[in-house]
Every structure is written in C-alpha cells, then in structure tokens.
Amino acid sequence: MTTENPLRDRALAFRSLHVPGRPLVLPNAWDTTSARLIEDAGAAAIATTSAGLAWALGSADGDRLDRDRALAAAADIAAAVDVPVSADIESGYAPDADGVADTIRAVLAAGAVGVNIEDALYEAGTGPLRSVAEQSERIAAAREAADAEGVPLFINARIDTFLRGAGEVDLTLERAAAFRAAGADGIFVPGAVEPGTLKLLVDGIDGPLNVLAGPGAPPVAELSALGVARVSVGSSIAQAVHALVRRAARELLGAGTYGTLERGLDYGELNGLLGAGRRPRRLSRRPA
C-alpha cells in the first residue's frame, strides 16, 4: 500500500526540472508578492534569495537572519504558489551538522522541496570557506534528515570559490566531488560566468550545474548550449526593486516630480493577482 506524500511528489517534480542543456530558470523571490508575480510570469519553480529575504525582513545578508524568521517567510511563499519552492538557507542557519539537520526538517515543514547550502564563512577571523570535511558533514546531515522524512529534497551545494576569491576551477571541482559524495544533488558556483570556465565546470562536475546569471553573464540560450542545468539571478531582482524605490523617493523629495512611477504595475492587475486566492498546485512546467 502506497502512502500519499504530496511533499515527496513536489520534490520529485522539482528534481525533474534540472536538465543539462535545458536549464531550469529561476527569477529569485523574496516574499509572497514577488513569488506570485514570478509564478504568473511562467516560472516552473520558485527559488528564494536569502539576501532579498533578509532585506525584506530588515536584516543584513550573510548568516545574520535567524532560522525561524527566514523559514516563516519561506513557508508563506510555499503556501502562496502552486509550483515547487526551493529555499536559500545560507549556511544552514546552524553552527553544526546537527543544527543543519534541524533546519532541513523545518524547511520540509515549511513546504519547500529544495535548498541551497553555501560553504562561505562570514565571521571575523575565519577563512573565506568552510573546510571540505566540515561542509561535507553538514551536507550529509541535510541529506540524512530529508531522507528520514521520505522526501527527496534537492540539495544545491553552493561553492563560493569564485565569489570569495578562494580558488578557481580545480579547487571548485575538488569541492564539488566531495559535496556530491556527501549527498548534494546539484552544484552552484556563483561568480563563474566566463563560457570557457563554465564548460570546464559542466564537464568536470558529476551532476547539474547552477549558474548565477545577471548583467554581464551570457544569455540563457548560451548557458543552455554549454550544458548548464539551472540558472538563477540571486538578489539581482530585489536589488533592482530597491533601486527603483530609492530613485522614486529621491525624485519625489527632490524635484517633486513622478517620472519614476510611470511604469508601475496597474493597481487592479496587481490587486487581482494577489486576491485570486490559493489555486491547486500544478507540478509540471507551464505550457509556453
């Protein structure tokens, strides 16, 4: 007799979207409104941005937001959309592997079916990255916690070698192999956007590669041709929104004019989208 497990089904659906050469494209969300807008644009899944989420809650990014507040926001997002949700949990919101396992159980309780776990360190006096052994232990704890709940959580291991200036391709591949062996499903290498570098990473990593895209990065079509399996933009959309807020405020308080506001969303359209109520979840890609 098979026990129905909707979370497991959503996790399998999310996992199936990671196809090298036909990447899952994720415009990252930070609250329920951004998530609903991204879903309405046709996204097959929602991924949160830890930075955007932290800023929305009045906190700085970089392991400064507490787990309960972060995952309460992730739960709101998961409840607001019909597509699978992946939560960016920074380093795991915990000082050790046991704490990471607790975080994973809370992620599943929030309704998310994927996570990003990064290997960067932010405390003064530490190196830029956790050791391979420590990070592998944390990933293994995450894997075990999810498996114990019967959910094939997609664990995206973020490697900050390029982003933190701690190494390039060879070191990244070493860390990727260790993290995959520990239970990671995919590898996320923010800061690597040069096509030749990405090709080396795609060829050298035994698993789907996630690229952080944005201004200056190759377009999605080129990333697809390189064999990338997932494309996200991190905090870029949130940064663009906050830049708009600042421009509008400065214009209004300075010149006293309203030009920045001319291309805003229609009130009725936005209000209607958010007032439409919760729809039944659809787990497959939306038709083009």
Residue 148: closest CA among 114, 110, 101, 115:
101
Inside any domain, residue 265: yes
Residue 176 lies in a domain: yes
Residue 180 tokens, joined: 């995959």
The reported pTM is 0.93
In a domain, 36, yes or no: yes
Tell me if 30 is assigned to some domain: yes
Q: Regarding predicted confidence, which is higher, 281 or 148?
A: 148
Q: What is the pLDDT of residues 7-61, one digit of tens each?
A: 999 999 999 999 999 999 999 999 999 999 999 999 999 999 999 999 999 999 9
Give the pLDDT band (50/70/90) at residue 2.
Answer: low
CATH for 200: 3.20.20.60
Is 287 part of a structural domain of the chain?
Answer: no
What gap in Å lies between CA 168 and CA 195, rounded to an integer? 14
pLDDT digits (tens, 9 = 90+) for 243-258: 999 999 999 999 999 9
Domain with 132 in it: 6-274
Asked whether the predicted pLDDT for residue 277 surpasses 60, the reply is no
Is 281 part of any domain? no
Give me the pLDDT at residue 11, please.
Answer: 98
Does the structure show a pLDDT above 90 at 1?
A: no
Confidence of residue 286 (pLDDT cuts 50, 70, 90): very low
Which CB contacts under 8 angstroms, 24+ apart, belong to 67-74?
Answer: 67/93, 67/94, 67/103, 67/106, 71/103, 71/106, 71/107, 71/109, 71/110, 72/110, 73/30, 73/31, 73/48, 74/48, 74/107, 74/110, 74/111, 74/112
pLDDT digit string, tens, across residues 94-122: 999 999 999 999 999 999 999 999 999 98
State the average pLDDT over residues 170-176.
98
Domain count, the chain: 1
Q: Report residue 276's pLDDT band, with 50, 70 and 90 as the boundaries.
A: low
Average pLDDT, the chain: 94
Instruction: Give percent of the chain above pLDDT 70.
Output: 94
Q: Is 282 part of any domain?
A: no
Residue 279 pLDDT? 52
Q: What are phi and psi of 93, to 5 degrees?
A: 50, 40
